[in-house]
Amino acid sequence: MPDICRGRCMLDLMDRLFVVVVSALAFGLVAPTVAGQDATPRVNPAAQSCIAPSSSFATPPSSFGTPFAAEAIAAEPESDDEAPLPPRTPHPGVPASGAVLEQIRAAEETLAACFAADDYLAFTSLFTPRVLRDEFGVTSPGETPAHSVRYVLLREEIVTVSEAQTHTDGRVSADVVFGFAGERMRARDVFVETGGRLLLDEVIELPLAAAPAATQGPVDEVTLQNLAVLGFAPGDVPGIVSVATLGATIGMQPGSAVALVLGQFDYEVCGTGHRCFVPAPVRATWSVAPANGARIDPATGLLTIDPATPSGSVFTVRAAVEGGRHVVETEVHVSTPEANPLVGYWQEEAQLSCGSGTEVTPALPITELVFASDGTFAVTWTPFESYVDYWGTYTVDVARGTLELVVSGGNDIPPDVDGHGRFALDATGRLILSELWLGTTPRMGSDPAHCGHRFVR
């Protein structure tokens, strides 16, 4: 995830009801809990109250703050459009009491509640001048941010608050795991007490937590039956990730490699509307068939596709859990962009009217048109958790530029789907579907059907 959130994040918080950021597939996220003292459970920010300081801002006593903070700030170069602060490391501290931990937890819940309530003035009133200057580029709450704001500052829900500490400069801090836009992040939040309230004085981003080590004990039967396989980039530390809703297969290209991990799908860990994969600490022995064209490390699950493996090849990966007590299988489909340029996620930009081909702005654009490498597709206007409007199989002829969609099931299948037509990619890589219509849903109102679509990745 990028360190910055373009200036629109906080501007949108002032102008719109909610901040929307699209999560990329298979981002590595922090684990749902952090080991340490008295980790607090996840709370729902909607159930909390956004109670900001009564005054527009209360300046903390001069004795608070990082030693030499004034000199450090003066020495910093002026912020540009995108870079509030360089990476920082946590300050040394000593364990704090449970009362301090509870005080920090309450402050974190208030931050999340004010952010979720889209109350920009209240949200920024919970920061010290240091944060307002360094992170927002402003001098007082409510001002329009002068530059982009880091993702690590924004929170929609608090997952855990732990490892409370006190510091020699009078500040207190805690290790916080929080959610924003369906992702999990972790930081050391440092607070200053002012007028009986804690104001956020510094945010130090922490590394993503590693997946738990493989357990040596037996896996319970429920976990065993729910195990699935997901791939991570080689070298990445497997963690909780927000994933797509389509398919149980893995797509790869010749010459690529992926680290396969066992885990379970969850619809609560990453927040409402998101489907998450949670790695499970289980022991397994990995194998792949056929052996020609692919190889796998039986201990680590690192799968490599040979560069000469042709597009269209299919492999079966098996994970024998706990010596064969249970076997988890998944298919790996190999394809190349040349053989199938449709594979991936597409979002509708425009529709093409019948006859003239004039572009029409869709009343309700398709948010997800997904082509998987195993020959399946899915169409969803408004994604939510595992919901898909309808799905099926597709056949693409690259040489002729034809596409055939066959609907096999769905939750809301439009009656006017015409799955036979043509496809093309324009000079900018946009997908043009012509003589083909993905359907009209009741949610579009009385809008007429058209004869094509334009999508962008």
- The pLDDT tens digits of the residues spanning 431-441 come to 999 999 999 98
82 has pLDDT over 50: no
Examine residue 207 and say whether the peptide bond preceding it is cis (omega within 30 degrees of 0): no
pLDDT tens sequence across 225-255: 889 999 888 877 787 877 765 556 899 999 9
Query: Which uninterrupted H or E stretch holds 278?
Result: strand 275-279
Query: Which uninterrupted H or E stretch holds 330?
Result: strand 326-334
Percentage of residues of the chain with pLDDT beyond 90? 43
Of the candidates 372, 142, 133, 424, which has an alpha carbon nearest to the alpha carbon of residue 251? 372
The pair of structure tokens assigned to 396 is 């693409």
DSSP code at position 274? -
Of the candidates 297, 182, 287, which has an alpha carbon nearest to the alpha carbon of residue 243? 182
184 has pLDDT over 90: no
pLDDT tens sequence across 88-120: 556 678 888 888 999 999 999 999 999 888 888
Question: Domains in the chain and their CATH numbers?
Answer: 8-205 (no CATH), 221-334 (2.60.40), 344-456 (2.40.128)
Identity of the amino acid at 181: A
Q: Which pLDDT value is given to residue 258?
A: 92
Average pLDDT, the chain: 78
pLDDT band at 177 (very low <50, low <70, confident <90, very high): confident
pLDDT band at 457 (very low <50, low <70, confident <90, very high): very high
Which residues touch 68 (CB under 8 Å, ≥6 apart)? none
Q: Which pLDDT value is given to residue 136?
A: 86
pLDDT tens sequence across 408-445: 999 999 999 999 999 999 999 999 999 999 999 877 66
Is the model more confident about 443 or about 454? Answer: 454
Three-class SS of residue 13?
Answer: helix
Tell me the H-state helices in 343-455. Answer: none
Q: Which pLDDT value is given to residue 223?
A: 86
Least confident of 36-50, 94-108, 149-163, 180-194: 36-50
Identity of the amino acid at 375: G
Is the model more confident about 89 or about 354? Answer: 354
Q: Which pLDDT value is given to residue 365?
A: 94
Is the model more confident about 153 or about 321? Answer: 321
What does R_g of the chain's alpha carbons equal in angstroms? 25
Find the Cα–Cα–Cα–Cα dihedral 32, 35, 37, 42, rounded to 10°. 0
Mean pLDDT, residues 58-87 = 36
Mean pLDDT, residues 173-182 = 82
Q: Which pLDDT value is given to residue 399?
A: 95
Cβ pair 4, 149 in contact under 8 A = yes
Three-class SS of residue 388?
Answer: coil
261 has pLDDT over 90: yes
Q: Which residues of 327-358 are buried (b: 16+ CB within 10 A; e: fewer)?
A: ebebbbbbbbeeebbbbbbbebbbbbeeeeee
What does pTM read for this prediction? 0.53
